Amino acid sequence: MTRIRSKIRPEIAESQFGYVPGKGTRNAIFTLSMLMERAVEVQHDIYLCFIDYSKAFDMVKHSALFGILDQLNINGKDLTILRNLYWD
């Protein structure tokens, strides 16, 4: 996983909290709290949208996923392991 993570990490936004080592729910809640406090201070409206992606991976087109992984130069044993996880 370390090899895969090192190749994918540059593609992950700094604002991403899920599945990122050292970041998690507490970080997301803290960041959101700070943004809300700041919006109140400067008297700006703030709009939030929360999306539950928990079932999103069930609908991923595997051929597209593996095409993207190939573009990120994830290949060899790493790609084989991931393919075996998703394909029966």
- 85: nearest Cα among 43, 57, 56, 54: 57
Say how many domains are in the chain.
2
Between CA 10 and CA 88 the distance in angstroms is 30
Same domain, 36 and 57: no
29: containing domain: 1-50
| pLDDT for 88 beyond 60 | no
What is the value of pTM for the model shown? 0.51
Mean pLDDT of 36-64: 85
State the pLDDT at residue 36.
94
Mean pLDDT of 58-67: 83
Between CA 40 and CA 64 the distance in angstroms is 42
State the pLDDT at residue 14.
82
Same domain, 7 and 41: yes
| pLDDT for 82 beyond 80 | yes
Same domain, 60 and 81: yes
